[in-house]
Structure 1
Amino acid sequence: MAKSSADDEDLRRACQAAIEDTKQDVVMSIRVAKSRGIWSKAGKLGRGHMAKPRVLAISTKAKGQQTKAFLHVLKYSSGGVLEPAKLYKLKHLSKVEVATNDPSGCTFVLGFDNLRSQSVAPPQWTMRNIDDRNRTLLCILNICKDMLGRLPKVVGIDVVEMALWAKENTPAVTKQQGTLQDGPVMAAVAEDDMKVTVERELVSQAEEEDMEALLGTYVMGIGEAEAFSERLKRELQALEAANVHAILENEPLINEVTSEMGITGLEAATNCVDDMDEWLSIFNVKLRHMREDIESIETRNNKLEMQSVNNKSLIEELDKLLERLRIPSEYAACLTGGSFDEARMLQNIEACEWLANALQNLEVPKLDRSYANMRARGQLKRPDHADLRYKCRTYARLLQHLKSLDKNCLGPLRKAYCSSLNLLLRREAREFANELRASTKASRNPTVWLDGSTGSNQSASSADTSTVSEAYAKMLTIFIPLLVDESSFFAHFMCFEVPALVPPGGLANGNKTVPIDDDNDDDDLGIMDIDDNDKAGSQKNADLQALNESLHDLLDGIQEDFYAVVDWAYKIDPLRCISMHGITERYISGQKADAAGFVRLLLDDLENRISTQFSRFVDEACHQIERNERNVRQVGVLSYIPRFATLATRMEQYIQGQSRDLVDQAYSKFVTVMFVTLDKIAQADPKYADILLLENYAAFQNSLYDLANVVPTLAKFYHQASESYEQACTRFISTIIYYQFERLFQFARRIEDLMYTITPEEIPFQLGLSKMDLRKVVKSSLSGVDKSISAMYKRLQKNLTSEELLPSLWDKCKKEFLDKYDSFAQLVAKIYPTETIPLSQK
């Protein structure tokens, strides 16, 4: 027998040199022949592939307490030198299958569970003889069992025969005292290790035969069973005593056991050291965190000390400045309450001269320029009109009597009051809005979200603009209650009789109202209804109309300052219109009183303004989407698909209150324009239309999967994109299949068309549909089915730009092809019953 290549030391040294950079030790190396099949049809569809010479090298690498095993595939370079071609990790080995179509049994397949493409069959390895095959497989299985603790699935081979072969071909190894080397011993393979998948029986055949022979040596009668049992017990005790004596006499075995116990102790100590090392690493991390916390505390303490020193210096500077601004009491008395008598004129002149000098000292030449640029800035708070209302209460009873005497006289008074207070309210609102915008710091977010002309690497700004909506909410929080209070006070003070103005004390003494005593109510005028007669309904309606007209005069013009805040917020971040819309809706639902009629109109106008601004943003974004249509030929996923997902995520974060409808309308408009634009771009290039559609619809579904689970509107468009994706896939796959098997399926289509007009028996006699034509079509289409299928896969891979879609589309393509082929086979069996065509193997 020729020497096996597994014993070739030169080959092993060449393999070791080829993988020298990996720091791995070659355990075994052997020459093999590599071949490949497609769709697990080895031999049938893979006969056209020529076998290639390769070398399989099994190597190991120690890493800490573990040992890793690898399978290297090496090929010969043009100079005859071995070089690495493939590398497999044996921990991923899941299946060992011997090819059944090879009569010699020397061909096998190794299946790994981490291969990227499971649709392509793994390579087949062919050995020179059965001994080389068994030797290689036993080496792989032993490594999997010893190092990895598990065994792969074995198919197509009798493991009992392998175990017998190992027993016959493995030389005996004497047990001697000594140190065993690390790593698997490939030459000595115990019989128990060979039986990798054979279930152990409780009593083997040999043991059963020994028991029968033992029982046959004794001739027992009835009643002698107990004596036989006692005899067996005595013999068993004697055998056990002999075994113990033999063990005690076997000193090398005792030493070996002792050494094994020592090794076990060393392993336990090693484990303890590893645990201690892990604890120390944990303590080290905790200490590092403590050091960081201490440094952070020290930094804060240093900042507090610096702040304390700065505050002390600031107080000293302010004291000096206030000293220059303080007016002596004698001069203040002369300037504020002094008389212009002749005797006091000198004091008055002296006080005026001092004040003039003090004002000149506050000018730039005599004052530090840093002080000259300072401006007073107070905290934003609600304007206080308590003093004004207190003074108006003095005239409340007079107005009641004037109304009783002459109702028409209140008209000019109301107009004058509204005109004067309107100027005050508008000035306060304008100053508040200006100060609010000046004190709010926010980075401006871009309004260009979905434009593809800026490049695919554009990312939306993630600047926090929550201060903008907070500023708008603060504007409403301060001024809406103020305007409601002013409207209510005006209605009470100017004696309007409307249903909403019944005092909260209820009715007493018929229809007369009794006020309640509440010192905290600034708007309570303490007015009794001096008119004992009920007002007619028409009179109340007239008062309500007059009140609304007066409130319009009182508050007209203040809405411009609210509009300015809305426009300012829109320029910083258009998406903040969503949160402002929800805030406005909340205030609208809280305004029910008739006295706040103008306030409700103001809030409605604000809501319309916000909706208009947001609609403007939506329209601009839709124009950005439509501009993609004018670009050059589009390939792959369009830029606005992933950007829309980012935009939708941001919009969902801004939703407050009742703004869901506003956002859903924007979603509907966005997605509708996106899908229409996508269809137009696809129609511009019909050859690649289906590819563009399926890739973009798939990207739409992937990017919006999480949002579609919680937003019903997006879920509707998600399902629409899913249907369009399936339709595009069907068309594209059909194109791929018909491109390779056009004659075959065109023949089937002609048969199906004729079946509507003539009987199946007449079809074989039609021109171009005879049995001879069928044989030609089948032969021309299926003779190179191997190459045609590979061409289908390559064509699919070439046209797709999204690699993650390739496995699923290839599975669909295979299923569609097999379904069409089965339909063709059924059609042939019906029309040409005597003809046979190859059957598909799914």
Structure 2
Amino acid sequence: MTAIKHALQRDIFTPNDERLLGIVNVCKAGKKKKNCFLCATVTTERPVQVKVVKVKKSDKGDFYKRQQTWELRDLTEVDAKDASKENPEFDLHFEKVYRWLASSTAEKNSFISCIWKLNQRYLRKKVEFVNVSSQLLEESVPSGESQSVAGGDEDALDDYQELSTREEQDIESMMEMCEYAVSNAEAFAEQLSRELQVLDGANIQSIMASEKQVNILMQLLDEALGEVDTIEGKLSSYEEMLQSVKEQMDQISQSNRLIQISNTNNGKLLDEIQFLVNYMDLSKGHIRALQEGDLTSPKGIEACINASEALLQCMNVALRPGHEKLMAVTQQQLLFAELRDTFARRLTNHLNNVFVHQVTGMLLWQLTVSSHSVIKGHDQSSTLSQHTAELTLPKHNPLHRDLLRYAKLMEWLKNTHREKYEGLSRTYVDYMSRLYEREIKDFFEVAKIKMAGTTKEAKGKFGKSCDLLACLHGSSGKLTGSTSSLNKLTVQGSNSRRSQSSSLLDMGNMSASDLDVADRTKFDKIFEQVLSELEPLCLAEQDFISKNIIPFSYESLPSPYMVRLMMNKIFQSIETELNSLIALGDKIDSFNSLYMLVKMSHHVWTAENVDPASYLSTTLGNVLVTVKRNFDKCISGQIRQMEEVKISKKSKVGILLFVTGFEEFAELAETIFRNAERRGDLDKAYVKLIRAVFMNVEKVANESQKTPRDVVMMENFHHIFSTLSRLKISCLDAERREAKHKYTDHLQSYVINSLGQPLEKLNHFFEGVEARVAQGVREEEVSYQLAFSKQELRKVIKEYPGKEVKKGLDNLYKKVDKHLCEEESLLQVVWHSMQDEFIRQYKHFEDLIGRCYPGSGITMEFTIQDMLEYFSSIAQSH
């Protein structure tokens, strides 16, 4: 432990101006034993700081390192666990409790004793010691190992030395000789000063008395100087003798220096030769592989890759100054350049042949299929529909797999022959763009046939397709022809398939007699299949380009942009074909824009999650703009159709067609946009459409001549409210409440206006009574007014006996029945509301009679029970 203590003091605490006073070997209680040391230290500078430091051996075990430090003033309690028994466990309470297990009880006790002494000496706030023997705190630490561990006795805690017993006795006797030593300190100090002067004088006299001894000392010094002169003479003679030896040694040293320089130069020359041999020597096997290696077999390709990398390493070696002047180096560089050019030509020609062979083979297969169909009398569209019944694009994984073997060679070609590399890349892009153009065009033609319906009429719209190789070789003149196209395809017979009504669905070509749900579902599947086929095709090609063919001629552009540039060249027809397909779908049925918006948005979102800067996400994003524009045009067209709606002047209005059309549109849209990313676009369209529906319902109601305005408003807003309540479209909650409010208001208005007809004179009479009361006439004096006397009231009441009232109600029911439409079934609702309103008016009349004609005994010719029977019997009879 002493050696450890000295090592810790030397390596850790002395550099930090600290002294190690106590140490104990511990480990954390309850855990695997990872030993460390707790050290009690004080700083050597004032003010003194007392710390407890945790020291641990490094992982390699070759040195100690400070791991954690606590200020002793932060220590609140020391718990020794048991004061009566030997127990190596103890706790130190700082900001949290640290539980330790000492290697021995003696080390623990010594460390706790040291902490106690430091606490008593330096801290005002005393630490609480629990379960510690009082004997351990009061007695000094025993000598030996325990004393060494605890840091020594009290003397080690400071830099002063206590007085010895004799010194204490001398001071006490001196102070006893002077009685006033304690009471008069100044007098005692003066006396001590006088005694000191006496002692100094005695010392000087003693020195003067020793003159004889001084003379003897001076004589001895003179003799010593003589001896020194003798020795210097001998040294001079020795130096003369060694001078000749020095000259000889200098000559030997110069000779050795020259030999050392020669050896150094020879070593450096050998290093240069070894450097050139190691880094500028290409093996015969590599040379053979570069000149005639097989570029078709896996082993041959691997040998060529290794040889090309070795050649590139030799050519790129950093020559040291002067190497370029060596003839051997120049010859090697010429050899490397020749090998590079030879292999670059071989590689470029081979890869060109691979491109032409692979792509031409694919096109020849397509040509064979096309020629076979022509021989049998079929046109190209028939061939397309026959051979691509599943609407799938050809996969080029075998081509990519074959070309990926040359990825490292392409990288080598890029670094060594930029022009050949760019030419090869252009060749790949040119051939692949023609191949993809043919395949994508055929693919979209089939998609359009399926979309328009695979009928003989649709097939008859396609001309015969051209020879595929003519498309590949362009203007070579060997093969010519004209490609078929669906860009001129028109959807015929639309007038026979669609009605020309004024409904909202007429604009969208979606009335019940038009395309049914199966047709829309078929279109949705076709469009989804088109996008699903394009997505892996583009991603596979982009992945291949990124790994094997880096874009050419644009070194200053970022890599993602260059990849997208090549993709644009290869798939230059995709965006055009997609827009053409979208235009066709919109022409077939403008509501297809809903399907296309949802599907396109989903695929754009998926592509952006994979790679936001990819060609696919950019292209689909551009097409999505067109789809969104068609969707907005569809909504605007529907609104325009609402504004242009005309109603018949001879027939009742009923539920307007664009109101039922909105219902069917909302049902369809809710199905399509369920969990869609572009739900916000639909919500905005909903708001535009419903506001247009509201406005045009009011417009039609105002223009209606056959049907009362309140009826038009009541029935249509009741239908709108029912639709919105059923579909629960959250963005239209305010419109749903507004529709309910309008329906209720116009129902009440219609009921009130219609009920004035059966009791018209009675209504006018009591309106006059209420007017007199409003003018200030007292209610009991109204009967004295000539026009509103009791006699006049009886005359009016007699004009409305029960039979007449029932007859008037029957006529009213017939008129209401003529006003209301059957599909909304509001007749009974209106009739019941009229009953309630009639009873309310009846009670109001009775109240006025009671207040204005008290005691007159005047009553109506019929009772409320009579009225209920009238309403019930009339409703049942009809």
Q: Same fold judged by TM-score > 0.5?
A: no
Q: TM-score scaled to structure 2, two decimals?
A: 0.42
Q: For the pair shown, which has the larger CA radius of gyration, 1 or 2?
A: 2
User: Bigger relative contact order, structure 1 or 2, given CA contacts below 8 A and separation 6+?
Assistant: 1
Q: TM-score scaled to structure 1, two decimals?
A: 0.44
